[in-house]
Amino acid sequence: MELLERFAAGDLDAFETLFHQYQREVYRWIVRIVRNSATAEDLTVETFWRMYRAHARYDATMGSCGAWLRRIATNAAIDHLRHARNEIPLMHDPADAALRPPSEQHELRREIRGAMNKLSPRLRVVVLLALVEEEPYAKIAQSLGITEDAVKLRVFRAVRILRKTLSKAGVHP
């Protein structure tokens, strides 16, 4: 019996093998959304917990295991963002810190983070993945369970809201 079939039947050893195959990929995807390594680790555990709970519903014909996991991971990350709406950690300092004086740079970052926090988690995820991380639209669409056109529409809506919010704050992108 194949690994995925054994997993679908509830085999814990098969699940452990899959975990070790995909844990890094899942973690890397989540950390791009939540931008905090500790939170990403917790959500990786949550993702695999949800995966195991849904083992009986796994259908190999619906796509690869990696794609299915990415979708579960994205949902777990969105759930997290809903409960932690005012938290966007930066991971590390911006690369172009030398371009502006430190105080102005700090103020600008604060305004951008504020604008991002005003977006709904669904739009924020799309902005982070499409504009910051530059992931392919097809991959984002698959992870959200929507079409590429829907991703483009969300990007468009998010950009419009961000530009409006930033303009009100005196930042003109």
Interacting stretch for another protein, rule CB under 8 A, among 32-40, 55-63, 76-84, 137-145?
Answer: 32-40
Which of these segments, 63-71, 78-86, 109-117, 137-145, binds another protein (CB under 8 A)?
109-117
Per-residue tokens: 60: 């190999």
Angle at 61 between CA 149 and CA 16, to 5 degrees: 105
The residues, ordered by sequence, that sit 6+ positions from 15 with a Cβ below 8 Å of its Cβ are: 7, 48, 51, 52, 55
* Shortest distance in whole angstroms from residue 131 CB to another protein: 5
Write down the residue that tokens 């452990």 correspond to.
Answer: 16
61 vs 134 by CB, closer to another protein: 134
Residue from 56, 61, 92, 102 binding another protein (CB under 8 A): 92
CA distance 171 to 108: 8
Q: Toward another protein, which CB reaches closer, 28 or 85?
A: 28
Interacting positions 128-157 with another protein (CB under 8 A): 128, 131-134, 155-156
CA dist 151 and 128 (Å) reads 12
Count residues contacting another protein (CB under 8 A)? Answer: 47
Contact between 11 and another protein by CB under 8 A: the answer reads no
Interface pattern 52-81 for another protein (x via CB under 8 A): x-----------------------------
Angle 29-93-162 from CA coordinates, rounded to 5°: 70
Task: Decide whether 107 or 146 has the Cβ nearer to another protein.
Answer: 107
Looking up tokens 């992870």, which residue turns up?
143
Distances (CA, A) of 143 to 83, 110, 117: 20, 29, 21
What lies within 8 Å, CB to CB, of 39 at 6+ separation is 80, 89
173 lines the binding site for another protein (CB under 8 A): yes
Please say which residue, 56 or 95, places its beta carbon nearer to another protein: 95
**Residue 96 interacts with another protein (CB under 8 A): yes or no:** yes
